[in-house]
Structure formats: structure tokens, C-alpha cells
């Protein structure tokens, strides 16, 4: 069996390394990446990942859709343009979404987006605190695997036997996506806090109240409490907000002290800062459904409305006193 991976970035390549006991075919539009993988057995975007002969790359999507098991590891806003291609019309594969985010144009979770474009045999989510470089180095990692089909979970678990990558099963497909998407927003906020040298107390409070907002959002969508307190929720939030490996945290640090308000030009062109885009999708959902998320609102105001960062911090600190809860 050959595993297809759609996405030749760092995460797609880390997954390829993880599953390289099997035949793996990576789809990438970057011919330099494709040639590097095929000729030299590594992706220049990802350190520590030298592939064995089982891993190959292609720029031909038709070769990917012939496989029975496909991982989607694309930036969330690029998924539609790839999966709407005609070669996916007769797809007969189990799809595992390893991307994190919410589509801006439709406000769809990625599982909803994929199901609106293709008809997979089954659809699963892989999400959790997983930095690509550590997965590629086979360092201990755990994640949530959400699916309505436990047989796929068992199949993937068997492939991971002997690896230092542990997955936990969940049926909460939507809940598993919420933490992975929203944590990137709050990592930007944590980065801003660090960039302004607000201190450890401030970051601890910020992360805690960010978790409250994620929980409110998840409760609206009837997610399970166990999911939000698990690896794909609290676990991913803690990792992303507390590490300088996080692109989103670093983006927050970078914008904390720059004078201009056009933050889009500060985005790394070689790596997607998902939180920047997910902020726009999440604020729309929260506003339409009256979900109270003041930190999200402040991040949105800073990124998209040009509001002053100090003013937004003061606004958060001067909110009316209330009982500590997640309702």
C-alpha cells in the first residue's frame, strides 16, 4: 500500500518520515522540493528528515488520488483549490486531515469543507501538540485521532507500532478541530505579550483565559469536554503559546513593536502563519453566534482594524469584574 500526502511543506514531510515504513508519495507543486526529495531524499524546508527509498514526491495529483489512504497537510485556505480539481471526482480513499484552521470564505471546519468537495470512504482528523521537526526526529509525541470509523484508527495505530508517536481515539470530529484551529490565534496574543515584556504572570493569565474562550466556542458546537481538555485542545494550546518554535508566537513577538499597521507584510512567505487567517474566520463565527471571545476580538482588531496594541490590552484589563467560569 502507498500512502498519499497532499502537501510538501514541513508537516507533510514530517508525516512522510513518520510513515516511511510504508510506501509514501508526497504531492507538492514546488518542483525544487519534488526534485530534492526524489534525488537527494530530503525536503530543504524541513531539517532532520532524511527519507528512505520508500518516500517519493510528485507534482501530479492524479497519482495521489489512486491511493487508498490520503493525508491532507495543506494550509487551510488552500484546500479548496486543490480538492475541487476533477481528479477527485471518483475518489475511493480514506482521508485524514492533518491541517488546522477554518476556511475564511465559507466559515467551514476543514472536515465540512472536504466533505463538500469530495466523497471519501471515511474522514478522520489528526490533531494535537506536534511540532514537525520533533516528529521528524522521532521524539515522543501524542495526538488525537478523531473519526467516526474506529477501523481507520486501528489501521493507523498498527502503522505506528514501534514509533514514538501515540494516538488517542475520539469520535468528536468537530471538537478535535476547534482547539487546533483556534490555538494559533491565541499564540499570536501570547507572542504580543512576550514582545511587550508583560511578564510570566500576564502570559499565564492570557493562556488560561484563551482556553476559556476556546471552551466557549467548542461548547457552542456541542464538542465534548474531554476533547477540549485533551491533546487537540489544551495540549496544543500549551505547546503553541509557550514555544518560540511556533510561527504564530513569533509573529506576535514581531508585530508587538513595529510602527506600521500592515501586518500582512510581516508574514513569513515560506511558512504559513495559520493564526493570522483563522482569526478572520473565527471572529465571523463568534460574532454571528454571539459567542463572547474578547481576546479573539482584540487580536482581530490589532491584525485587521489597525487598533493600537496598548489600547487593546488596557481594554481587556478594564473589562467588568465577573465570576470565573467558561459560560
Q: Point out the residues that are catalytic.
A: 183
Do β-strands 141-147 and 122-127 pair in parallel, antiparallel, or remain unpaired? Answer: antiparallel
Do the beta carbons of residue 295 and residue 190 sit within 8 Å?
no
Do the beta carbons of residue 8 and residue 34 sit within 8 Å?
yes
* Length reported for the chain: 327
First to last CA, the chain: 47
Tell me, what DSSP letter sits at residue 231? I
What is the grid cell recorded at 215? 471552551
d(Cα 197, Cα 185) in Å, to the nearest integer?
Answer: 19
d(Cα 289, Cα 130) in Å, to the nearest integer?
Answer: 31
What is the grid cell recorded at 6? 497532499
Give the DSSP per-residue string, 108-139: -BHHHHHHHH---SEEEEEESS--HHHHHTT-
d(Cα 14, Cα 117) in Å, to the nearest integer?
Answer: 26
What is the grid cell recorded at 140? 515522543
Do the beta carbons of residue 325 and residue 215 sit within 8 Å?
no
Amino acid at each position: 500500500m502507498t500512502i498519499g500526502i497532499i502537501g510538501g511543506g514541513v508537516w507533510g514531510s514530517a508525516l512522510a518520515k513518520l510513515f516511511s515504513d510504508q510506501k509514501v508519495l508526497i504531492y507538492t507543486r514546488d518542483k525544487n522540493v519534488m526534485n530534492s526529495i526524489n534525488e537527494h531524499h530530503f525536503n530543504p524546508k524541513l531539517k532532520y528528515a532524511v527519507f528512505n527509498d520508500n518516500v517519493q514526491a510528485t507534482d501530479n495529483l492524479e497519482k495521489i488520488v489512486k491511493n487508498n489512504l490520503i493525508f491532507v497537510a495543506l494550509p487551510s485556505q488552500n484546500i479548496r483549490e486543490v480538492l475541487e480539481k476533477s481528479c477527485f471526482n471518483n475518489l475511493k480513499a480514506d482521508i485524514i486531515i492533518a491541517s488546522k484552521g477554518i476556511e475564511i470564505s465559507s466559515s467551514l471546519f476543514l472536515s465540512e469543507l472536504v466533505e463538500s468537495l469530495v466523497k471519501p470512504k471515511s474522514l478522520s482528523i489528526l490533531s494535537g501538540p506536534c511540532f514537525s521537526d520533533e516528529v521528524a526526529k522521532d521524539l515522543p509525541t501524542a495526538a488525537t485521532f478523531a473519526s467516526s470509523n474506529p477501523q481507520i484508527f486501528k489501521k493507523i495505530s498498527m502503522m505506528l507500532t514501534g514509533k514514538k508517536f501515540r494516538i488517542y481515539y475520539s469520535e468528536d470530529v468537530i471538537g478535535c478541530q476547534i482547539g487546533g484551529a483556534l490555538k494559533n490565534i491565541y499564540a499570536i496574543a501570547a507572542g504580543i505579550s512576550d514582545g511587550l515584556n508583560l511578564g510570566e504572570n500576564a502570559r499565564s493569565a492570557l493562556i488560561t483565559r484563551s482556553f476559556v474562550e476556546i471552551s466557549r466556542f467548542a461548547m457552542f458546537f456541542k464538542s465534548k469536554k474531554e476533547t477540549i481538555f485533551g491533546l487537540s485542545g489544551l495540549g496544543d494550546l500549551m505547546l503553541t503559546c509557550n514555544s518560540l518554535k511556533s510561527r504564530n508566537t513569533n509573529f506576535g513577538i514581531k508585530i508587538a513593536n513595529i510602527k506600521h499597521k500592515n501586518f500582512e507584510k510581516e508574514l513569513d512567505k515560506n511558512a504559513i502563519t495559520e493564526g493570522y487567517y483563522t482569526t478572520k474566520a473565527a471572529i465571523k463565527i463568534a460574532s454571528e453566534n454571539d459567542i463572547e471571545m474578547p481576546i479573539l476580538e482584540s487580536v482581530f482588531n490589532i491584525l485587521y482594524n489597525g487598533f493600537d496594541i496598548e489600547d487593546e490590552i488596557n481594554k481587556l484589563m478594564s473589562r467588568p469584574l465577573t465570576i470565573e467560569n467558561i459560560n
